[in-house]
Amino acid sequence: MSKYQPNIDLAGVVAIDIHTHANLSSRAPRDPCSIIVDEAMAKYFKSGKLPTIPEIAQYYRDLKMAAVIFPVDCEAEMGHWRIANEEVAELAAENNDVLIPFASIDPAKGKMGAREARRLIEEYGVRGFKFHPTGQGFYPNDRKAYVLYEAIAAAGLPALFHTGQTGLGAGAPGGMGLRLKYSNPLYLDDVAADFPEMPIVMAHPSFPWQDEALAVATHKPTVHIDLSGWSPKYFPPNLVQYANSLLKDRVLFGSDYPAITPERWLADFDKLPIKPEVRPLILKQNALRLLRLV
């Protein structure tokens, strides 16, 4: 086992993608249930074949970018096997010139989840944690999740939360039973108030709660917004306005790869009226600070 230590050419990379998914294990068989979800997601996003983690590393290496990568642990709510956090961290360590590992732990695991978080931080060097309230079936401000947040906050690491509508279950009967209500970003206001030492990233334009997301981010100075999961051509005007002004130091480039490719995202981002001095902040500089790479 190699503990992750970043070896990224910070001057050489053109961008840092804060939001990419490890969907395919190189070590374990695929869960048959996850295949159904992955096929539905591919149809929703019109995306292609799922890559392995080493393939993702080479893809970003060719693009001269670095990327945060994580699995999503939805075992309790959705009944799907997760990709092991250890595999993600170990493969990121082998590709530490381009990959930055986040872990994912279902808050339903309670104190055992907190133990796992501490072990992943201490032994594997993970650099943050990913939550999906809709996929995990919990309100972010549920006190049952706080024991896990305490472990993350003690290390000063960021927690990235899916917000808003999701492609997960979209178009399936009953949305696969998943509830959008859990991903209202307003619930993160409580988390930010109770854990001011834990940076929070609200992932995606938070449709239909964009105003709530902007309110929380402007009020709580440790809250960030990543722009993943949507083509920039669909960004609401108020999100672009705040990215250009009050939140210019806390808005982050994210693609949601492999659902959306960074090439497609960046091509559409080029057409947005983002100030020239703000573009490098969103594409790289804000992530460097958040991830403590500088």
Residue 26 pLDDT? 86
CATH number at residue 246: 3.20.20.140
pLDDT digits (tens, 9 = 90+) for 128-178: 999 999 999 999 999 999 999 999 999 999 999 999 999 887 778 888 889
Domain count, the chain: 1
Q: Please list the pLDDT of the chain residue by residue as tens digits (294 residues).
A: 779 999 999 999 999 999 999 998 888 877 777 666 766 666 666 666 789 999 999 999 999 999 999 999 999 998 888 999 999 999 999 999 999 999 999 999 999 999 999 999 999 999 999 999 999 999 999 999 999 999 999 999 999 999 999 988 777 888 888 999 999 999 999 999 999 999 999 999 999 999 999 999 999 999 999 999 999 999 999 999 999 999 999 999 999 999 999 999 999 999 999 999 999 999 999 999 999 999
Q: Which amino acid is at 12?
A: G
Q: In terms of DSSP H, where are the helices of the chain?
A: 32-45, 53-63, 75-78, 85-94, 110-119, 133-136, 146-154, 187-194, 210-219, 237-243, 262-269, 279-280, 286-290
Q: Looking at the domain assignment, is residue 95 inside a domain?
A: yes
CA angle at 71 for the pair 70 and 72, rounded to the nearest 5°:
120
CA dist 92 and 277 (Å) reads: 31
Range(s) of the domain holding residue 277: 15-290
pLDDT digits (tens, 9 = 90+) for 246-281: 999 999 999 999 999 999 999 999 999 999 999 999
Whole-Å CA distances, 259 to 2, 19, 124, 127, 196: 29, 11, 27, 23, 31
Q: Looking at the domain assignment, is residue 3 inside a domain?
A: no
Q: Looking at the domain assignment, is residue 1 inside a domain?
A: no
Q: Looking at the domain assignment, is residue 185 inside a domain?
A: yes
- DSSP run (H or E) holding 252: strand 251-252
Q: Looking at the domain assignment, is residue 173 inside a domain?
A: yes
CA dist 259 and 21 (Å) reads: 9
Q: Looking at the domain assignment, is residue 93 inside a domain?
A: yes
- Contact (Cβ atoms closer than 8 angstroms) between residue 24 and residue 52: yes
Structure tokens at 117: 């978080």
Per the omega criterion (within 30 degrees of 0), is the bond before 208 cis?
yes
Q: Looking at the domain assignment, is residue 59 inside a domain?
A: yes
Q: Looking at the domain assignment, is residue 82 inside a domain?
A: yes
Residue 273 pLDDT? 97
